[in-house]
Amino acid sequence: MIKNQPIMQLKDVSIVFEKRTGLFSKPTKIKAVNDVSLNINSGEIVALVGESGCGKTTLGKAIAGLLDPAEGQVFFNGIDVKKMNKKQFEEYRNGVQIVQQDSYAALNPARTIYQSLGEPLLHKKIVKDKKEAYERVCELLTTVELTPPEQFINKYPHQLSGGQRQRILMARAISLSPKLIVADEPVSMIDVSLRIAVLNLMARLNKTLGIAFVYITHDLATARYIAKNGKIVVMYLGELIEIGNVIEVIKDPKHPYLQALLSAVPIPNPWIAKQEKELPLKSLDMPSISNPPSGCRFNPRCIYATEKCEIEPPILRQFDNGLIACHNAEKIPKFVLPSIESVTVE
Ligand code: SF4
């Protein structure tokens, strides 16, 4: 596999939902993702970060082919998904897997681990018989460090811990030899003590199997941990606002929204924490995605907003080593980060 080749490309992708406020009311259209362009390279880890409701899960589902864009194009291995033939589309669906946040809901409670993992292998003719399916499931369980596999293979989801169920979801995702896994908040519902182990597992699957990951999170600390050699993509109200190397972006955030997020970091040093600083925001209220502000969507909250920001939406453009969507990036003061050891943005 050649690194740094886009395996997945999104071009000007928008995702629209219809919402009714009453039984007989006319549906209103909500653009949950607006005009997003993004490349994901082979073997790369991309941390997709933003607050709840910013559209990151919707974007993840579009990458995995679970949602159709209303506008724009999605390419897998350079082929437009909408123009794929049956074989190419099957390769895409097998090649991009999703691991969901709620491992309990994602597994059928009435099926054993063998049934959940082995039967799709038989159905897709990846293995030739039940014996081979059993052996392959044992191999997969070993790969995700559920050992000895015989101890887990006949269990039901409720007999496993949250961390173990997440590993089962990883095993199911890798069973189809994917090129890319979209992991949607995979550690947010498991004990803090187990989170690092699941993140390390993802990093190992990335390194040993060359699988690219899109790690969706609201937690900048885990984003930095998992994607330390990869990139961070920051979303705000359905749009991408900053992209760059994760270490560089967190150390030197350019967009005022990301600067504000990082200002909300709890600081472990009580002497620094005592010097309470106001958040660099005009308002703490997040506007509604169903009625986003005109111009730059961040303008009602931005302390650097100018008249132009209220009228003209900024486009994502090259700035220093990354990309940023801000008219005034050149004038925004540098942000100095005290620590991000435990930052979580809700
Ligand atoms: Fe703030 Fe204007 Fe930049 Fe938007 S474009 S982040 S409102 S300065």
For residue range 163-212, what is the model confidence (pLDDT) as tens digits?
Answer: 899 999 999 999 999 999 999 988 887 777 778 888 999 999 999 999 99
The burial of 251, by beta-carbon neighbours within 10 Å (0-12 exposed, 13-18 middle, 19 or more buried), is given as middle
Using one digit for the tens of pLDDT, what is the confidence trace for 126-177?
999 999 999 999 999 999 999 999 999 999 999 999 889 999 999 999 999 9
- Cβ(322) – ligand 1 distance below 6 Å: no
Least reliable range by pLDDT among 113-122, 217-226, 290-299, 308-317: 217-226
Nearest-CA residue for atom 5 of ligand 1: 326
Least reliable range by pLDDT among 35-39, 62-66, 219-223, 311-315: 219-223
Ligand 1: distance of its center to the CA of 181 in Å?
A: 33
Predicted confidence band at 280 (pLDDT cuts at 50, 70, 90)?
Answer: confident
Ligand 1: distance of its center to the CA of 196 in Å?
A: 35
Nearest-CA residue for atom 7 of ligand 1: 299
Whole-model pTM: value is 0.90
Mutate to test the pocket of ligand 1, among 299, 303, 331 (most ligand atoms within 8 A of CB): 299
- How does strand 45-49 pair with strand 317-319? unpaired
Arithmetic mean of pLDDT, 262-284? 67
The predicted structure's pLDDT at residue 267: 56
- Cβ(236) – ligand 1 distance below 6 Å: no
Nearest-CA residue for atom 6 of ligand 1: 326
Predicted confidence band at 22 (pLDDT cuts at 50, 70, 90)?
Answer: confident
Which residues are within 8 A (CB) of 125 and not within 5 positions of it... i.e. 6 or more apart? Answer: none
Ligand 1: distance of its center to the CA of 80 in Å?
A: 33
